[in-house]
């Protein structure tokens, strides 16, 4: 009985020791990861036009000087021509479809949640999951606008703290996707590959870099840019939760887009635009 009592007490002590050790391991493990806490806003000058663009150092649209193939230069030109007539062109975000990659990484109000297995990038109602547990890309993945991302943490300066998160994102993607509001296109085969290096600026810990390279069949070569984000100094920032459908007056029926008036009535978006097919509605005789 005495021995069994000691054994029971020993089990309690051992369990307590394991809990302390596990907590210590977790604390040590957490210390390996960089401090990316807070709200991050994209540094994306407007240059007199749209702020949301792929290369933040250039204006949007043609000024991006995207290395498009001749075929996709024509796709971009057709998109802008359609928009000039009141259409949406190749800009799926106007239809309230998700931004997808890489447009998603041009949005402000980002939050990075780091765990050993997964790093989450929260952007409004969108979520990127970057798996860092060593898994392979899924072989039977369902198409997704943000794709599937696998990452690896690197301690470049050997100080015991990770400095860089290297990420590769693959499809199959849902589409269509566009870099910006002019409909600057990615290939319609939705087989893009994105390679990224996330790291804090060495001179400013409140500046985050996302060096991103796009490999896409609509491009003549890989297209690389350095996106930067500034940490909001407010410890309690406003996290905006918006839905694209709220206040959106664009209605897409079939292949045509229309406008919704302030009175809630359907309006044409283009000159001499025919109304949508009303075969399922009872027609009023005049």
DSSP 144-196: BTT-EEEEEEE-SSSSSS--EEEEEEE-PBPS--BSSTT--BPPTT---EEEE
- DSSP, collapsed to helix, strand or coil, labels residue 42 as strand
| 183 and 255 within one domain | no
At 234 the pLDDT is 95
At 253 the pLDDT is 87
The conformation of residue 104, written as its DSSP 8-state character, comes to G
**Residues spanned by the domain of 222:** 40-231
Min mean pLDDT across 3-7, 59-63, 211-215, 260-264 is at 3-7
| 227 and 157 within one domain | yes
At 96 the pLDDT is 83
| 174 and 81 within one domain | yes
| 56 and 27 within one domain | no
Q: Residues 199, 222: contact at Cβ < 8 Å?
A: no
Q: Residues 219, 66: contact at Cβ < 8 Å?
A: yes
Residue 129, domain member (yes or no): yes
Model's pTM, two decimal places?
0.84
Residue 236, domain member (yes or no): no
Task: Name which of 101, 119, 126, 121 is nearest 190 in CA terms.
Answer: 101
Q: Mean pLDDT throughout 231-247? A: 84
**What's the domain count of the chain?**
3
In the predicted model, what is the mean pLDDT of the chain? Answer: 87
């Amino acid at each position: 009985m005495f021995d069994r009592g000691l054994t029971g007490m020993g089990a309690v002590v051992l369990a307590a020791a394991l809990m302390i050790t596990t907590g210590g391991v977790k604390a040590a493990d957490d210390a390996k990861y960089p401090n990316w806490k807070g709200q991050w806003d994209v540094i994306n000058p407007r240059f007199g036009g749209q702020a949301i663009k792929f290369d933040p150092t250039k204006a949007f649209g043609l000024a991006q000087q995207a290395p498009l193939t001749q075929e996709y230069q024509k796709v971009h030109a057709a998109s802008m021509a359609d928009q000039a007539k009141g259409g949406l062109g190749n800009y799926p975000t106007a239809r309230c479809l998700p931004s997808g990659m890489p447009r998603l990484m041009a949005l402000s109000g980002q939050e990075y949640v780091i765990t050993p297995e997964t790093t989450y990038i929260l952007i409004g109602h969108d979520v990127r999951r970057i798996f860092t547990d060593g898994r392979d890309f899924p072989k039977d993945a369902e198409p997704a606008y943000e794709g599937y991302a696998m990452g690896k943490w690197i301690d470049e300066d050997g100080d015991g703290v990770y400095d860089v998160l290297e990420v590769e994102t693959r499809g199959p993607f849902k589409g269509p996707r566009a870099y910006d509001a002019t409909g600057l296109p990615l290939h319609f085969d939705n087989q893009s590959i994105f390679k990224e290096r996330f790291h804090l600026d060495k001179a400013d810990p409140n500046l985050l870099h996302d060096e991103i390279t796009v490999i896409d069949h609509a491009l003549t070569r890989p297209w690389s840019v350095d996106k930067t984000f500034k940490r909001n100094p407010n410890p309690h920032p406003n996290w905006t939760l918006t839905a694209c459908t709220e206040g959106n007056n664009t209605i897409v029926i079939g292949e045509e887009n229309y406008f919704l008036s302030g009175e809630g009535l359907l309006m044409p978006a283009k000159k001499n635009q025919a109304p949508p097919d009303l075969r399922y509605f009872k027609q009023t005789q005049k």
